[in-house]
Chain A
Amino acid sequence: MRHVLSALVQNQPGVLAHVSGMLASRGFNIDSLAVGETEDPVLSRMTFVVHGDDTVLEQVRKQLDKIVTIVRVDDISSENYVERDLMLIKVQANSAQRTEIALLVEMFRGRVVDVSAVDIMIEISGTESKIVAFIEMMRPFGILELARTGRIALVRGRPMSKEAQ
């Protein structure tokens, strides 16, 4: 089963290394890990996407929680949450293909951010399935490079970071 874990961590050097080292040394496979500052400069948020049964998830969550610099961990999979992934993708495109690609970009609510004679760079965000679908649409044109941020997520309504204080 797919789980989304959201963790608030102290914004200190080494926390990301600690977390990723723990996950690796205990053999947990992480699909995606994104980290960034929050509204509170002393806290960062890490979002993990993990596949595994309940026993594995329970251990991942508990082992994360055991790290002193992790302030709180929530498995938000069963909550009402918004999830986004941001992608930059560079696709082969001659002048003839540009129109078709631009149409697809519009349908997916993406944005063209750079164009040259032979390629085009697109910015797109959304859920994992939307991103994956867009990648598939671009594949026939020839994907030159792509970069993704990994999934970030927030639960609707309840402000988790306020509760932590």
Chain B
Amino acid sequence: MAETKGTPQSGADILVQCLVNHGVEVLFAYPGGASMPLHQALTRFGDRLRTVLPRHEQGGGFMAEGYARSTGKVGVCMATSGPGATNFVTCLADAKMDSVPLIAVTGQVGTHVIGTDAFQETPIIEVCRAITKHHYLVQRTEDIPRVMKEAFYIASTGRPGPVIVDVPKDLQNRAIIPDYDPPMNLPGYRPQRAASREQLEGVLALVRHSKKPIIYAGGGIIQSGAALYLRQFAEKTGIPVALTVHGLGGFPSDHFLCLQMLGMHGTVYANYAINDADLLLALGVRFDDRVTGKVSEFAKHGKIVHIDIDPSEINKIKAATLPVNGDVCQTLKELVALLDADPSLGPKSNAYADWIRQVEEWRSQEPMRFQDRDDAIMPQFAIQRLWEILRERGMLEDTIVTTGVGQHQMWAAQYFKFNSPRHWLTSGGLGAMGFGLPAALGAQAAHPLKTVIDIDGDGSFLMNIQELATAYCEKLPVKTMLLNNQHLGMVVQWEDRFYESNRGHTYLGAGFEHEPYPDFVALAQGFKCGARSVERKEDLDDALEEMIDSKLPYVLDVLVPYQEHVLPMIPGGMTVRDIIKA
């Protein structure tokens, strides 16, 4: 047994045992010279720990993110030194921006050659400092259990984030007698944050005295598991809820208080409501520029309550009237408890009737809409039909959606409705193209029985298309609905709006006189995945059904016009008055 005291074990075996001890069931690992001892160890733990082999380290990193985002658990990926490790850079930056608990283990050249520009040596810790929550270059084999314990603790507590652990090869090979439960050495890390009673009462007093309150809820709701309490709080107070792209699913989209997404491509009514509100309850959000537009104009008519676990987010972009540095789940839970104990602390019933009436008026005047066509499949229509078919089949709760980055991502956010957390995985902060397919594979590995659909664009999909091999070989039957417009659609949209439609290398095809390029069906079939291409609207439903029912990984290539813009749109740095409506 690996845990037997007194038996020397290699650093690699110790590290893998630590993964098992911390509850890791699957990791995504691509081997190489400096991580071979780790992979040899993984073969010895095959019965307890599944190793998924991606086809590119970036794919492995995004898979670990898909795993983490869909479960809330720490995702683990592994790569060798040098180029293996640098291929994690985008994933780590992505996990940092979106607060995803991730541990990346990288092999490093032996300690005796570190600093000599050895083969496949990069100082990956130096590279990754600014894009990780924390980082370790392991110094001694004896330190491995403590480092791994700290890495899991740091990645998963407070505001979650990525941790990189760089392990020189000689330390992987060296055998010692391990202590699997060493004390942590983190005197400066205090992740627990709680609101004071005074702050909680202050929040409720502001709510009581407001006439037009609104909740602006983000990824913190999902990360902290606060969806239930957000719903209770919204219902008890009657305050409408607008969601960020990462907040989607944190509050049911079919709830009458849900104003859907706010911000650059949010609903008109959500943005009107934010602008008009006299109290903004900002819950687990960071006032990203894609939400605020021009910061000085954002929510400028109201007081701001900002509840966030990360003190550095408070007053970073927008000064809060009442800053609350606390875990948003715990804080909402306590607010609900206060309201339960003494309803007079909250607003009177129907206190916001006029406000809700106003919001409803905006909602009915400015619903989400697009100009549908019969001679083509509109991208919005394809997403709407996908959602409708899954709903009719009662599959929505068992469906996880991932995306690439661009127009298709925003349309998915607008037209696929999410009612519960962790069903929607997207690269929001970093906006990393190529995220969709590998993230879907990671989610599928975590949820073998769920339907995992990557709604992707042809640009993003091609960035990590090699992961179709992972899908097939690892039996991860993810579905890709490819909205193929032969362009980098979002950049094209900005070219149309701001650069007189001059195409700056945004066309991805091989010439308009040719067939769409590349042939995604042939590519998918080359990977032995199911595939089909549709161009006519009347074929779409049948093709979607075929995709959903496929037992194999499947690529549905949906040919869509490229001229369509994502609307509504508040151009970057502008205000709600500049909104471009559909």
Contact = CB atoms under 8 A, between A and B. Distances in A.
Interface of A: 8-10, 13-14, 17-18, 21-22, 25, 55, 58-59, 62-63, 65-72, 164-165
A63 B316 CA distance: 10
B315 A22 contact: no
In the A-B complex, the 10 residue pairs with the closest CB atoms: A62-B312, A71-B188, A68-B134, A71-B187, A68-B189, A70-B188, A62-B311, A18-B129, A25-B130, A66-B312
B382 to A, nearest CB: 40
Contact of A21 (B130, B189, B315, B319): B130
A59 to B, nearest CB: 6
Contacts of A65: 311-312
Contacts of A14: 125-126, 129, 135, 137
Contacts of B133: 68
Contacts of A165: 187
Contacts of A55: 315, 319
A142 B186 CA distance: 50
Nearest to A7: B188
Contact of B312 (A9, A17, A63, A68): A63
Nearest to A24: B130
Contacts of B312: 59, 62-63, 65-66
B310 interface: yes
A9 B126 contact: no
Given A62-B312, A63-B312, A10 B130 contact: no
B204 interface: no
Interface in B276-334: 310-312, 315-316, 319
Question: Which of A13, A59, A68 has the largest number of chain B CB atoms within 10 A?
Answer: A68
B383 interface: no
A68 B188 CA distance: 6
B154 interface: yes
Contacts of B125: 14
B154 A17 contact: no
A59 B187 contact: no
Nearest to A70: B188
A17 B126 contact: yes
A22 B133 CA distance: 12
Question: Which of B129, B133, B137, B315 has the largest number of chain A CB atoms within 10 A?
Answer: B129
Contacts of A62: 311-312
Contacts of B126: 14, 17
A68 B150 CA distance: 11
A69 B189 CA distance: 7
A10 B134 CA distance: 13
Nearest to A71: B188
A21 B130 CA distance: 7
Contacts of B185: 10
A9 B316 contact: no
Interface of B: 125-126, 129-130, 133-135, 137, 154, 185-189, 310-312, 315-316, 319
A54 B134 CA distance: 27
A25 B130 CA distance: 8
A69 B126 CA distance: 15
Contact of B188 (A9, A13, A21): A9
A59 B310 CA distance: 12
A17 B186 contact: no
Contacts of A59: 312, 315-316
A72 B130 contact: no
Contacts of A66: 310-312
A17 B188 contact: no
Question: Which of A14, A21, A164 has the largest number of chain B CB atoms within 10 A?
Answer: A14
Nearest to B131: A25
14 contacts: A9-B188, A10-B185, A13-B137, A14-B125, A65-B311, A66-B310, A66-B311, A66-B312, A67-B188, A68-B154, A68-B188, A69-B188, A71-B187, A72-B188
Nearest to A60: B312
Contacts of B310: 66
A22 B187 contact: no
B122 to A, nearest CB: 15
A58 B188 contact: no
Contacts of B186: 68
Question: Which of B134, B188, B310, B311 has the largest number of chain A CB atoms within 10 A?
Answer: B188
Contacts of B319: 55
A140 B486 CA distance: 71
Contacts of A21: 129-130
Nearest to B311: A62
Question: Which of B137, B310, B312 has the largest number of chain A CB atoms within 10 A?
Answer: B312
Contacts of A8: 188
B129 A164 contact: no
B188 A10 contact: yes
Question: Which of A13, A62, A63 has the largest number of chain B CB atoms within 10 A?
Answer: A62
Nearest to B126: A17
Contacts of A18: 129
A14 B128 CA distance: 12
A62 B325 CA distance: 12
Nearest to A64: B312
